[in-house]
Amino acid sequence: MIYELQIGTNAKTELLDITSKVQKLIQDINFQNGICTIFVPHTTAAITINENADSTVKEDMLMELNKVIPFNDNYQHLEGNSAAHIKSTLVGCSQQIIIKEGNLVLGTWQGIYFCEFDGPRKRKIKLKLISE
Binding residues for Zn ion, per CB under 5 A?
79, 81
Name the minimum Å distance from CB 18 to Zn ion: 23
Which of residues 31 and 75 has its CB atom nearest to Zn ion in the complex?
75
* 37-75 core/surface letters (b: 16 or more CB in 10 A; e: else): ebbbebebbbbebbbbeeeebbeebbeebeeebeeeeee
CB nearer Zn ion, residue 52 or residue 82 = 82
Taking CA atoms, 38 is separated from 48, 74, 75, 87, in Å, by 10, 33, 30, 18
26 or 83: whose CB is closer to Zn ion? 83
∠9-11-15 over CA atoms, to 5°? 65
Question: At its nearest, how many Å lie between Zn ion and the CB of residue 50?
Answer: 25
Q: How far is the CB of 8 from Zn ion (least distance, A)?
A: 20
Q: How many angstroms separate the CA atoms of 15 and 57, rounded?
A: 10
Q: Which residue is nearest to Zn ion (CB)?
A: 79
**Is 85 or 128 the residue whose CB approaches Zn ion more closely?**
85
| Smallest separation, CB 84 to Zn ion (Å) | 7
